[in-house]
Amino acid sequence: MNTKISKILTYATGLIGVIGFFFFIRIVVEGDTNIENDVNLQNSILSPFITFSLITLGATAAIAVIYSLINLFKHPEVLKRSLIGVGILLVLLVLSYSFASGEAVTDQLGKVLENGEAGSVSRWVSTLINYSFILGAIGLVFFLYDFVKGLVK
């Protein structure tokens, strides 16, 4: 990495750390009970901290996505593998959706739970449960394969 960029990143990281430490000290000085009981104090201390945290999170996510896309387009073979992987995930999602039940959510007695009506939301919840199960099963299979392969060596 370029030394100028490295220095800039070091200073930016240090600045973010100092700002976060400043907010931490302000919160500690005021104490939990004072902050819990005073809305104005919450607005003056916690709101700027939350805003700072959201800005930092957004900037970090944007930088990560931008640099990932740049590296994908710089290396076409990696882009091809990534698109194949996304395609496989989409196929698994379609499979999960096709096996999902759109029925109402019921309790043990068969009564429909509150807000558990049948419909698209119920179907998508079922889809994502199936999707998680499929991905977990695939992960477990690969883990066991790697484990057995390590034992054999």
What tens digit of pLDDT does each residue of 124-133 get? 888 999 999 9
Secondary structure letter of residue 31 according to DSSP:
-
pLDDT band at 35 (very low <50, low <70, confident <90, very high): confident
Residue 130, Cβ neighbours under 10 Å: how many? 19
- Chain-centroid distance, C-alpha 17: 22
Residue 21, Cβ neighbours under 10 Å: how many? 10
Q: By the 8 A CB rule, do 148 and 106 touch?
A: no
Q: Rounded distance, CA 87 to CA 29, Å?
A: 52
CA atoms within 13 A on the CB side of 108: 0
pLDDT band at 119 (very low <50, low <70, confident <90, very high): low
12, two tokens: 């930016």
pTM above 0.75, yes or no: no
| Four-CA torsion 71, 74, 75, 80, nearest 10 degrees | 80
pLDDT in tens, 132-143: 999 999 999 999
Which of 7-11, 57-61, 142-146 shows the lowest mean pLDDT across its residues? 7-11
pLDDT in tens, 48-86: 888 999 999 999 999 999 999 999 999 999 999 999 999
